[in-house]
Amino acid sequence: MSKKNKNTEDVKDQVEEVLDTKVEENPIEENPVEEVDVETQLREELGKEKDKFLRLFAEFENYKKRTSKERLELFKTASQDVIQSMLPVLDDFDRAAKEIEKSEDKDLIKGVELIHNKLKETLKGKGLAEVVVSAGDVFNADNHEAITQIPAPSEDLKGKIVDVIEKGYTLGDKVIRFPKVVTGQ
């Protein structure tokens, strides 16, 4: 073979190789479709992870709010047992004050009133509040504890409170002792 023919064949071979290479590059052009599918899949996974993260974050925020609220409630009512045990002492002071008022010794009355007021103010400072109930108020089973029912002394006291036997108290927003009352029938 001559050099020319050999060169021509070499060129033909090179052209065929280039054409074969271009034919092989066609499958690469199909990859962008696969890349788009992979990209879409990755975006979906990212969206799912973002959603999962946001839900977890919201759940954690709710947990923080709930625990801080429980902690505040615990601090408010931490001394509830002590205050409840002091209520009979407060009741005794109320009864004693009524009896001592009958006395003519003004210094005795003044001394007992000072101690009584100091005890009330100390308990009030800890969050104790008296439930205000008086004779003639409408009886409500949710807010009062009926000890007994008696025939109403008058028609306007039927279904209403006739007498308050024991005062009720709240500690913060929680009722720790309901007022004990006598109702009219």
Distance CA 14, CA 1 (A): 18
The average confidence (pLDDT) of the chain is 83
pLDDT > 90? residue 88 = yes
What number is the average pLDDT over the span 71-76? 79
pLDDT > 60? residue 141 = yes
Indicate the range of 4-13, 129-138, 141-150 predicted with least confidence. Answer: 4-13
Q: With 0-12 CB in 10 A as exposed, 13-18 as middle and 19+ as buried, what is 144?
A: buried
Cα dist from 156 to 10, 138, 174, whole Å:
124, 10, 31
CA angle 172/173/176 to nearest 5° reads 80
Write down the pLDDT at residue 168.
93
N-term to C-term CA, the chain: 134
